[in-house]
Amino acid sequence: MLRHALLAASHSRAARKVVRSAPGTRGLVRRFVAGETIDDALLATRDIAGQGLLVSLDALGEDTLDSDQAAANVDHYAELLGRLGTGGLADRAEVSLKLSAVGQALDEDLALENARRVCAAAKEANTTVTLDMEQYETVDSTLRVVAELRREYPETGVAIQSYLRRSEEYCAELAHSGSRVRLCKGAYSAPESVAFTSGVEIDKSFVRCMRVLMAGQGYPMIATHDPRLIEIGGALASLHDRDPSGYEYQMLYGIRPQEQRRLAGEGARVRVYVAFGREWYGYFMRRLAEKPSHLGFLFRSIATKS
């Protein structure tokens, strides 16, 4: 219930205004967001890479309804990728891209062209792009776009959300050689007709998807902080004789950092998803929805203002 309210608020302009202007919000935001600028993102990347971890950078900005803004977002990614290359960080860091940031809501072809430009900049820098998965209404479009991108940039990854009833089917289609698939539970709201809504069902689906990905020929990226799923992922990798370079774990910046280092210390590949930028509102609200206990702090901060 609370999760749905928070996810609904993540699209509300009124809620956005209140949350963004509350005096204490920024402290909590900084727990999940690595700063506002490319310099901030590179600083965080260096720090994380220095701990033996990998990075995927998300230049925040989503739900773009203006083609000029979409183009500006592409330029921002191109600059980021250029600086990863010149800064010698491209072997440790890739980027994550939301198609909604580059015009998916305006026109799928526009988003494809824009994503192509980001992939070209990534290739030039010697790194890769993974497409985030967003609201369930965009899944078919995102899968079409990634299939197109992979003709020219076969290293392009995509996220699949285990809360979708069709997730196992998507994984089966994507579990081929060279295919990078990030498996996550899913951070948006979706109706029961298309998505599992109970935590147990979502977790069972996650395990089924991991089985398919680990048994397949691609490169599974297990994106969860859930200790049980991390353990099952490791067991499935061993069962299928995958060595540690044949898959990776992924976690979000600011969440379970000790566990990230513990897994890396055991020899696993661990990638930290680092979001940065001024457009942190939607991303931040989804993090609150995952852990509503953070809310007390936010409410106190809003109350302080009024």
Sign of CA dihedral 167, 134, 182, 254: negative
20 is an active site residue: no
Phi-psi category of residue 159: left, alpha or beta, with phi > 0 → left and psi -120 to 50 → alpha: beta
Which tokens in the block code for residue 91?
């072997």
Q: Which of 298, 277, 292 is nearest to 33 (CA)?
A: 277
- Distance between CA atoms of residues 201 and 196, nearest Å: 6
Build a one-symbol-per-residue string for 149-188: x at contacts with ligand FAD by CB under 6 A, - elsewhere. ----------x-x--------------------x-xxxxx
Build a one-symbol-per-residue string for 116-155: x at contacts with ligand FAD by CB under 6 A, - elsewhere. ----------------xx----------------------
Tell me the H-state helices in 22-66. 25-32, 38-50
Query: Applying CB under 6 A, does 34 fall inside the site for ligand FAD?
Result: no
Tell the smallest beta-carbon distance from residue 207 to ligand FAD (Å).
Answer: 12
182 is an active site residue: yes
Give whichever of 229 and 237 is closer to ligand FAD, judged by the CB atom.
229
Q: Contacting ligand FAD (CB under 6 A), which of 63, 290, 297, 302?
A: 290
- The position carrying tokens 């061993």 is 238
Phi, psi dihedral angles at 275 (to 5 degrees): -95, 140
Question: How many alpha carbons lie under 13 Å from residue 226 in its C-beta half-sphere?
Answer: 18
Given the rule CB under 6 A, which of 7-15, 20-28, 45-53, 222-230 is the region that contacts ligand FAD? 222-230
Query: Applying CB under 6 A, does 291 fall inside the site for ligand FAD?
Result: yes
Question: What residue ranges bind ligand FAD (CB under 6 A)?
Answer: 132-133, 159, 161, 182, 184-188, 223-226, 250-252, 255-256, 273, 287, 290-291
User: Catalytic positions, please?
Assistant: 132, 182
